[in-house]
């Protein structure tokens, strides 16, 4: 509260003059008194409260005095001040990465309260809310209703994936209406270098400078040994204090523990020997820190699937197709291929099907091809989830294998078969088809390697909200995702890429007749807490402006109302005379 024109305080003499006028003006009134005794009593009463009597019988006096007092107040120019956000348009960039769950209450909860406070100070100006991630999302756009903004802020959730702040800020820049738009970034910490070269917009970063205690599981791996499985858990103490922790490994009803002590900024490898032959294990570190999202990590004991050995006698388009899928390709002579290799083999030597190595057979070296004509008929199978065989031309086929399942055929003749052990046989040579000219060819090779090198019960490792092509096929075309027995959502084949859940953990992907496990893991960037600060960059000078709200318009209305009432009182007084 304040007044903008204190020089007009002298006008306070006007209501004082009116009071003096009413006090000392003479007004005679005829009154009959029956006797001298009553006259004396009457005079005593008037002398006891002369001024009060005068005031009680003059309503016009009260109204005039009130009007004059409000006039004096209006001339002083009273006002109130409040803070409002600087700018005419606002964009809230909200960090939804896992590190926002640090602290108690969490950084995310604190930022939600800060966003509500700033939304209230926006004063009805449009606000846009954008969440971070690989695919930034607009929650609300140019919203002016404060209740809608508060409801949208309350519904925000941490999505655990990397913030990808630079990408999100570039996206927010495209939403800015003009130079009066201010971008508020709500995060835990943001390096000033990210905004160093951005001078076209105004940025206000809201961060935290507190140092929190954190112990994280950086890596957790399993390997097979002669005495059983061996597990190694890598711990990192990102704190300035020494901490004691308990490392716990579990698989079903099996549990192993180890007590460790971590010095500040210490990395420690915790080995576990002679573990039972279980595939799926989970490591947990029990420690009193301020960030729990990186205290758990799961892994699966599966053979490596990032390399393949190709028979050098095959057409070079096969090696080119595998290289396009980012696999490590090893070329070997036909006589050098080992039937007991740990890596998948790609060859035309049928005798290698008897070995333990997984084999993708393309053609046959023990049979002669025969001519065929017709379209390819493919059955529902994970190998064809993304590799359509429409319009592919095949001129010749080799005889099929007995006891193999036929998953694609031409004119009733088997084209692609799968052995009971999971080996895949493509019964033609690459030079006898135009398949390499189609995008489905490298996709089929990728699906084949995923099938040969992977575990049929394990879908793979994912990061939160990761979009990926996966080999899933069922009769119904629908897969349900569960965690700890609770249904989460469904994935429909062909509806787009598979999107992993946002929260880290072990999940079950259940089809009509098949159940596969998948593991969602935090990115390593989300296992380190950083202390930041709040600052302004770009064209931003102040985060808030001070706005004055004048009471003069309301005082003028009140004065006019008093004048109207005063006139009505005066009119009625004249009418009753």
- Name the residue ranges covered by the structural domains of the chain: 83-211+529-550, 215-300, 308-453, 462-512
Please say whether the beta carbons of 444 and 360 come within 8 A: no
* Residue 28 banded pLDDT, cuts 50, 70, 90: low
3 state DSSP class of 182: strand
pLDDT of residue 252: 84
Whole-number average pLDDT of the chain: 84
Whether 405 shows a pLDDT value over 80: the answer reads yes
Give the CATH H-level superfamily of domain 83-211+529-550. Answer: von Willebrand factor, type A domain (3.40.50.410)
Whether 27 shows a pLDDT value over 90: the answer reads no
Give pTM, 2 decimals: 0.66
Name the CATH architecture for the domain at 308-453.
Answer: 3-Layer(aba) Sandwich (3.40)
pLDDT above 90 coverage of the chain, percent: 41
Average pLDDT over residues 445-464: 81
Q: Which residue has the higher pLDDT, 148 or 338?
A: 148
* Residue 202 banded pLDDT, cuts 50, 70, 90: confident
pLDDT of residue 307: 82
Whether 534 shows a pLDDT value over 60: the answer reads yes
Average pLDDT over residues 134-144: 93
Closest Cα to residue 249, out of 228, 226, 267?
Answer: 228
> What does 48-110 look like in DSSP terms, one character per residue?
HSHHHHHHHT-HHHHHHHHHHHHHHHHHH-EEEEEEEESSSEEEEEE--BGGGG-TTTTHHHH
* Residue 495 banded pLDDT, cuts 50, 70, 90: confident
Q: Could you check whether the bond before residue 105 is cis, i.e. omega within 30 degrees of 0? A: yes
The residue count for the chain: 577
Using CA atoms, how far apart are residues 137 and 129, in angstroms rounded to an integer?
A: 8
Please say whether the beta carbons of 228 and 277 come within 8 A: yes
Average pLDDT over residues 553-572: 79
Task: For 299-326, write each residue's pLDDT tens digit.
Answer: 988 665 678 899 999 999 999 988 888 7
pLDDT of residue 379: 85
pLDDT of residue 339: 83
pLDDT of residue 29: 59
* Residue 217 banded pLDDT, cuts 50, 70, 90: very high
Using CA atoms, how far apart are residues 88 and 75, in angstroms rounded to an integer?
A: 32
Whether 215 shows a pLDDT value over 50: the answer reads yes
What Å distances lie between residue 358 and 272, 309, 354, CA to CA?
A: 30, 11, 10
pLDDT of residue 137: 94
pLDDT of residue 55: 46
- Cα(first)–Cα(last) distance of the chain, in Å? 46
Whether 270 shows a pLDDT value over 90: the answer reads yes
pLDDT of residue 236: 93
Say whether 308-453 and 215-300 share the same fold.
no
pLDDT above 70 coverage of the chain, percent: 85
CATH 2.60.40.10 fits 215-300, yes or no: yes
Q: Which of 104-118, 146-160, 282-296, 343-357 has the lowest mean pLDDT?
A: 343-357
Instruction: Specify the DSSP element, H or E, that contains 150.
Output: helix 146-154
What Å distances lie between residue 494 and 391, 472, 475, 503, CA to CA?
A: 19, 10, 13, 24
pLDDT of residue 536: 86
Average pLDDT over residues 534-563: 71
Average pLDDT over residues 330-339: 87
pLDDT of residue 355: 86
Using CA atoms, how far apart are residues 233 and 249, in angstroms rounded to an integer?
A: 9
Average pLDDT over residues 54-59: 55
Task: For 368-388, write each residue's pLDDT tens digit.
Answer: 999 998 899 988 787 887 788
């Amino acid at each position: 509260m304040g007044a903008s024109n204190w020089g007009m305080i002298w006008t306070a003499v006007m209501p004082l003059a009116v009071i003096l006028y009413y006090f000392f003006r003479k007004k005679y009134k005829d009154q009959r008194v029956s006797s001298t005794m009553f006259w004396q009593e009457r005079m005593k009463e008037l002398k006891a409260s002369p001024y009060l009597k005068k005031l009680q019988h003059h309503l016009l006096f009260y109204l005039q005095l009130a009007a004059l007092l409000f006039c004096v107040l209006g001339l002083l120019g009273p006002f109130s001040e409040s803070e409002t956000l600087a700018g005419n348009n606002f964009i809230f960039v909200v960090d939804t990465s896992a590190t926002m769950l640090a602290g108690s209450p969490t950084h995310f909860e604190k930022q939600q309260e800060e966003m509500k406070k700033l939304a209230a100070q926006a004063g009805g100006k449009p606000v846009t809310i954008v969440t971070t991630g690989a695919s930034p999302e607009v929650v609300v756009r140019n919203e002016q209703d404060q209740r809608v903004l508060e409801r949208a802020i309350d519904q925000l959730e941490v999505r655990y994936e990397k913030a990808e702040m630079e990408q999100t800020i570039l996206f927010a820049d495209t939403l800015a209406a003009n130079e009066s738009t201010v971008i508020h970034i709500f995060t835990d910490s943001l390096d000033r270098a990210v905004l160093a070269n951005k001078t076209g917009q105004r940025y206000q970063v809201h961060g935290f400078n507190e140092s929190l205690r954190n112990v994280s599981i950086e890596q957790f791996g399993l390997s097979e040994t002669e005495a059983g499985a061996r597990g190694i858990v890598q711990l990192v103490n990102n704190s300035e204090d020494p901490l004691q922790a308990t490392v716990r490994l579990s698989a079903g009803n099996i549990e192993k523990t180890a007590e460790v002590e971590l010095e500040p900024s210490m990395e420690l490898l915790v080995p576990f020997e002679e573990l039972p032959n279980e595939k799926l294990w989970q490591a947990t570190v029990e420690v009193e820190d301020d960030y729990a999202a990186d205290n758990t990590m799961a892994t699966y004991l599966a053979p490596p699937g990032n390399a393949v050995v190709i028979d050098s006698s095959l057409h070079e388009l096969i090696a080119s197709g595998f290289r396009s899928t980012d696999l490590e390709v090893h070329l070997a002579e036909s006589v050098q291929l080992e039937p007991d290799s740990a890596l998948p083999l790609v060859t035309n030597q049928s005798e290698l099907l008897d070995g333990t190595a997984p084999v993708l057979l393309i053609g046959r070296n023990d049979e002669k091809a025969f001519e065929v004509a017709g379209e390819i008929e493919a059955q529902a199978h994970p190998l064809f989830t993304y590799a359509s065989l429409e319009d592919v031309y095949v001129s010749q086929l080799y005889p099929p294998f007995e006891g193999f399942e036929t998953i694609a055929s031409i004119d009733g003749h088997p084209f692609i078969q799968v052995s009971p052990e999971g080996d895949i046989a493509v019964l033609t040579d690459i030079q006898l088809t135009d398949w390499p000219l189609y995008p489905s060819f490298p996709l089929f090779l990728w699906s084949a390697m995923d099938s040969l090198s992977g575990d049929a019960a394990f879908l793979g490792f994912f990061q939160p909200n990761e979009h990926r092509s996966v080999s899933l096929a069922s009769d119904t075309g629908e897969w349900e995702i569960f965690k700890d027995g609770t249904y989460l959502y469904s994935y429909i084949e062909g509806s787009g890429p598979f999107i992993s859940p946002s929260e880290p953990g072990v999940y079950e992907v259940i089809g009509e007749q098949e159940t596969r496990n998948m593991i969602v893991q935090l990115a390593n960037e989300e296992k380190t807490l950083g202390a930041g600060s709040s600052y302004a960059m770009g064209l931003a000078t102040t985060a808030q402006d001070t706005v004055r709200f004048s009471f003069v318009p309301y005082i003028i209305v009140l004065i006019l109302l008093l004048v109207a009432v005063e006139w009505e009182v005066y009119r009625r007084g004249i009418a009753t005379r």
